[in-house]
Amino acid sequence: MFTPARIRGLGLAALIFVVDRAVKALMVGPLALRERGLIDLLPMFDLRYAENYGVSFGMFTATSLEMRYGLIVVTALIALGVGIWMLRETARGDIAGLALVLGGAVGNIYDRLAYGYVIDYADLHIGEWRPFQIFNLADVAITFGVLILLARSFKSGKKPDESGSANGDDAATENA
């Protein structure tokens, strides 16, 4: 069950969680982003404090204590499912994608438990146009993890090559 690839995956998830916690602590601590509200950095990127009471794009906003705990339970169950999937997965690429999702999810769940909301701070924009809501490192990890899983699933749908391998990353590479 705990192959080297899976142990590395758990380590990556833990690293994402720790770095996410450290960056958020920096934002609300020494940088005092909560009090300042905004720190102009680059023409297209600012640090802007936001409290996200929902999930992606502010959907499913928790407006009561019951909804908050419901959101925590649902996201924790999803994270548990991702963790179980990662511990059963054999392809290293999929393990890496799942680890990014798991680490980011746990980081945001921690915020929701500790504060009642997720701390967001990264504001990518072009002038007044914002292609994304304000986000955080955990959101980036989740997004890249999902993109890795999607790309790998599209790749695995290709016809097998001459050696008979459909995706080039089978169980034989698990222990590498």
Q: What is the pLDDT of residues 6-57, one digit of tens each?
A: 999 999 999 999 999 999 999 999 999 999 999 999 999 999 999 998 776 5
Q: How confident is residue 62, by pLDDT bands cut at 50, 70 and 90?
A: confident
Q: What is the pLDDT of residue 138?
A: 96
Mean pLDDT, residues 120-127: 92
Q: What is the pLDDT of residue 105?
A: 95
Task: Note whether 136 and 120 are within 8 A (CB).
Answer: yes
Distances (CA, A) of 26 to 20, 32, 33, 119, 121: 10, 8, 9, 11, 11
Task: Note whether 133 and 143 are within 8 A (CB).
Answer: no
The residues, ordered by sequence, that sit 6+ positions from 73 with a Cβ below 8 Å of its Cβ are none
pTM of the predicted model, to two decimals? 0.83
Question: Which of the residues are catalytic?
Answer: 120, 139
Q: What is the pLDDT of residue 127?
A: 84
- 3-state SS class at 108: helix
Mean pLDDT, residues 101-106: 96
Asked if residue 135 is part of any domain, the answer here is yes
Low-confidence winner among 65-69, 103-107, 135-139, 149-153 (lowest mean pLDDT): 65-69
Tens of pLDDT, residue by residue over 142-173, are 999 999 999 998 887 655 555 545 444 544 44
Q: Which residue range forms the structural domain that includes residue 110?
A: 4-156
Asked if residue 173 is part of any domain, the answer here is no
Asked if residue 69 is part of any domain, the answer here is yes
Asked if residue 128 is part of any domain, the answer here is yes
What is the percent of the chain where pLDDT is above 90? 64
Q: What is the pLDDT of residue 24?
A: 97
Asked if residue 170 is part of any domain, the answer here is no
Task: Note whether 112 and 26 are within 8 A (CB).
Answer: no
Asked if residue 126 is part of any domain, the answer here is yes
Domains in the chain, number: 1
Asked if residue 172 is part of any domain, the answer here is no
Mean pLDDT of the chain: 86
